[in-house]
């Protein structure tokens, strides 16, 4: 019985599939219901075909109805069984391995979590490999082995999806949906124009400013299909056409399914909490990094423009350039001389430290400024982290890029 699991249910969501992940959930749920109501038995008929005998549990007379299973389904069931068996043994291996690891580390095997595993692996097998993906890992097998697709067809061999034969049914049915939504909007527009209601169409267009289309990779994951660059472009073109329709705001939910918010939006939403100290003074804390320096900035409001950087005032930095750097957020937000700041900064040189303080200060100030000032700060680049790092020295070279002096003779 284990062999015919979720995928053996024919009645599930024929022709209405939007995502295969959903499918798996539904199929399994339906299967459990189905198994509760019916007695299912698999046997080999004399003609060599497998037959699935299904009989309702409630009936007194067992009138088994034989359903001939298509060849494709039989092959799929075998594959699925093999996959299940493999995963089962992998999971067993993983569990044993985890207990061994716990014993090696001298911890309790029963309360050994995945974080403990990761820490243990990092300790026992230290790796200097640059790419994190290349370092040794020990994870649940379901996270490591690729997911197996659920069957896309029923016991009788009829595919569930009406675009099954296109190979990319989810992708093409999305295109189909876009087309019909666009058609509906066009009809609506025609109707409104015919009734002379053009002014109602003002501001009904979808605002694309704060988000962008999902990437090819994300689309692939969402569709669970191998979509090529060309197909992705086609998808975006069609979506653009829908989004640029004067009435596209009506399809906002549908459009946003295929868009992601821009990073700045997320940053803006990360406003630090305001704490109220004794004496009614407000303060907000945020951290910033630049190169190898880290800074934790605590801003007090109201204040008189005092700075306390590792116990010193602005003279902590000897050069004016650095002083100016860290004062920029205050100038842009117009709070220069109105707040006090307490800064704890470590590592790196003056450039890195000044930059780290600037970022931390900008983030902390978000708690005290209006929306338009936030946007101004974002446009100035104060909220963007500078991702540049020191480039490593290469062997056979003097530095990161510089070569040794070379004379021909």
Partner 1 sequence: MAASIRRAVLKACSVPANVSILCREHQLTCSVRSLSASQRWMSRVSPICHQQDSMPEPTPLPVADTREATLNATLQHEDYFGVKDLANLRDLFNARVHLGHNSGLRHPSMSPYIFGSRQGCDMIDLDQTLPLLCQALNVTGHVVYRGGMLLFLSRQTQVLPWVERLAREVGEYSHCRPWRTGTFTNASSLFGTLPIYPELCIFLGTQDTVFETHRGVIEASKLLIPTVGVVDTNCDAEPITYPVPGNDDSPAALHFYMGLFRSVVLRAKARRKADGVE
Residue 345's Cα: distance from chain center in Å? 32
Could you tell me the smallest distance in angstroms from the CB atom of residue 283 to partner 1?
A: 59
Residues shown for the chain: 409
- SS3 category, 41: strand
Among 43, 49, 127, 166, binds partner 1 (CB under 8 A): 166
Q: Does 323 bind partner 1 (CB under 8 A)?
A: no
Distance CA 331, CA 342 (A): 18
Q: Does 94 bind partner 1 (CB under 8 A)?
A: no
Distance CA 239, CA 34 (A): 39
Could you tell me the smallest distance in angstroms from the CB atom of residue 113 to partner 1?
A: 36
Q: Does 180 bind partner 1 (CB under 8 A)?
A: yes
Q: Does 30 bind partner 1 (CB under 8 A)?
A: no
Among 32, 39, 75, 96, binds partner 1 (CB under 8 A): 75
Q: Does 82 bind partner 1 (CB under 8 A)?
A: no
Stretch that binds partner 1, among 136-144, 177-185, 291-299, 391-399 (CB under 8 A): 177-185
Could you tell me the smallest distance in angstroms from the CB atom of residue 151 to partner 1?
A: 8
CB-wise, 179 or 398, nearer to partner 1? Answer: 179
Among 59, 114, 179, 310, binds partner 1 (CB under 8 A): 179
Q: Does 186 bind partner 1 (CB under 8 A)?
A: yes
Q: Does 167 bind partner 1 (CB under 8 A)?
A: yes
Q: Does 71 bind partner 1 (CB under 8 A)?
A: yes
Among 68, 70, 205, 208, binds partner 1 (CB under 8 A): 70
Among 47, 146, 165, 237, binds partner 1 (CB under 8 A): 165
Closest CA to 396 of 406, 409, 385, 386: 406
User: For the chain, how far is it from start to end, CA to CA, in angstroms?
Assistant: 80
DSSP sequence for 102-161:
HHHHTS-GGG--HHHHHHHHHHHS----SSGGGS-----HHHHSPPPPPPSB-TTS-BSS
Residues in Cβ contact with 167 at an 8 Å cutoff, skipping those fewer than 6 apart = none
Distance CA 76, CA 7 (A): 9
Respond yes or no on whether the N-terminal peptide bond of residue 230 is cis (omega within 30° of 0).
no
Summarize as ranges the residues that interact with partner 1 (CB under 8 A).
14-15, 70-72, 75-76, 79, 149, 151-153, 156-159, 162-168, 172, 176, 179-180, 183, 186-187
């Amino acid at each position: 019985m284990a062999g015919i699991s979720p995928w053996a249910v024919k009645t599930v969501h024929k022709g209405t599939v939007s995502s295969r992940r959903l499918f798996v959930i539904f199929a399994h749920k339906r299967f459990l219901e189905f198994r509760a109501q019916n007695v299912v038995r698999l046997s080999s008929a004399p003609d060599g075909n497998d037959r699935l005998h299904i009989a309702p549990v409630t009936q007194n007379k067992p009138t088994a109805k034989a359903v001939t299973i298509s060849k494709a389904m039989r092959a799929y069931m075998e594959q699925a069984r093999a996959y299940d068996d493999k995963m089962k043994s992998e999971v067993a291996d993983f569990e044993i391995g985890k207990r061994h690891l716990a014993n090696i580390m001298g911890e309790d095997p029963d309360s050994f979590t995945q974080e403990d595993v990761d820490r243990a692996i990092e300790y026992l097998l230290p790796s200097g490999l640059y790419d994190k993906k290349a370092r040794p890992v020990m994870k649940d097998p379901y996270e490591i082995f690729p997911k197996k697709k659920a069957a896309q067809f029923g016991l009788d061999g009829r595919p569930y999806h009406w675009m099954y034969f296109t190979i990319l049914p989810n992708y093409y049915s999305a295109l189909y949906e876009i087309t019909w939504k666009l058609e509906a909007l066009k009809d609506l527009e025609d109707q409104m124009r015919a009734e002379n209601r053009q002014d109602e169409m003002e501001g009904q267009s979808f605002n694309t400013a704060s988000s962008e289309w999902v990437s090819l990779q994300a689309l692939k994951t969402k569709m669970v299909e191998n979509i090529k660059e060309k197909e992705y472009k086609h998808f975006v073109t069609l979506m653009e056409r829908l989004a640029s329709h004067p009435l596209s705001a009506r399809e906002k939910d549908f459009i946003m399914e295929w868009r992601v918010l821009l990073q700045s939006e997320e940053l803006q939403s990360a406003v630090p909490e305001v704490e109220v100290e004794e004496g009614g003074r407000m303060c907000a804390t945020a951290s910033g990094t630049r190169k190898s320096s880290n800074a934790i900035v605590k801003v007090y409001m109201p204040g008189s423009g005092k700075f306390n950087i590792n116990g010193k005032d602005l003279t902590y930095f000897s050069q004016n350039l650095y002083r100016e750097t860290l004062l920029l957020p205050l100038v842009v937000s117009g709070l220069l001389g109105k707040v006090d700041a307490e800064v704890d900064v470590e590592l790196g040189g003056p450039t890195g430290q000044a930059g780290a303080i600037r970022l931390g200060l900008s983030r902390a100030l978000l708690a005290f400024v209006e929306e338009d000032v936030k946007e101004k700060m974002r446009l100035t680049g104060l909220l963007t982290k500078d991702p540049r790092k020191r480039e490593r020295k290469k062997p056979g070279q003097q530095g990161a890029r510089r070569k040794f002096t070379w004379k021909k003779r």
